[in-house]
Amino acid sequence: DGGITQSPKYLFRKEGQNVTLSCEQNLNHDAMYWYRQDPGQGLRLIYYSQIVNDFQKGDIAEGYSVSREKKESFPLTVTSAQKNPTAFYLCASSMQGNIQYFGAGTRLSVL
Amino acid sequence: AQKVTQAQTEISVVEKEDVTLDCVYETRDTTYYLFWYKQPPSGELVFLIRRNSFDEQNEISGRYSWNFQKSTSSFNFTITASQVVDSAVYFCALSEAYSGTYKYIFGTGTRLKVLA
């Protein structure tokens, strides 16, 4: 089945540690996105990529990094510089200018 | 500046009642898209509808209907004869075409609780 797979579902980060969230899609979509969701704040854009080997910062990119080496994959690294990483992270993909489809999310907590 | 406002934080209704979720947007662009997504407790956002700025026709899909009014910058969502399975958080979003990136701006969501 075509879709977007995020892993892991739950992730725990220790102080000072970098962690990487996986996002894979088999929809042949060009564009991919990472969002952060906090209670009562809706979704905020972290990074997005419209094409392989290219990505742009969203509204809250500080403390995060991404790569887009393959069309299917857009991993997000939460670095130790992100002081408040506890949130629900959602990955999405779309054909250029079209509807975004979302994965099931990763819930990140700090130990 | 672009903005999406969902003023209703939480709504509770009894099963079979009709309910309307409000969405008001601000944009400087003449070409834009509006969306509604449903987020059930599992967390995944489920796409419901997209409407472009040149199409003000209302849409009905089963128990769901959408009312788009450019004059009031609103894109409201009505669920007729609500069911317990409709309980979720609903997000309205705006996407502008001028930048070429079609980034979404989300509202803060409305949590709908349908009581049996």
The 3-state secondary structure of B67-83 reads EEEHHHCEEEEEECCCC
CA distance A70 to chain B (A): 19
Is residue B19 very low, low, confident or very high in pLDDT (cuts 50, 70, 90)?
very high
Instruction: Give how far A17 is from chain B: nearest CA, Å.
Output: 25
> Has residue A80 got a pLDDT over 70?
yes
Q: How far apart are CA B70 and CA B57, in angstroms?
A: 11
How large is the average pLDDT for residues B31-35?
Answer: 92
Q: Which of B49, B3, B93, B6 is closest to A90 using CA atoms?
A: B93
Which B residues in the span 25-64 are in contact with A, Cβ-Cβ below 8 Å? 35, 37, 42-47, 50
**C-alpha to C-alpha distance for A8 and B27, rounded to whole angstroms:** 36
Asked if residue A40 has pLDDT above 80, the reply is no
Contact at CB, A97 and B97, closer than 8 angstroms: yes
Is the pLDDT at A101 greater than 90? The verdict is yes
Q: Which of B3, B34, B102, B111 to mutate to test the interface with A (most CBs of A within 10 A)?
A: B102
B48-99: pLDDT as tens digits: 999 999 988 888 889 999 999 999 999 999 999 999 999 999 999 999 876 6
- Nearest-Cα distance to chain B for A99, in Å, is 8
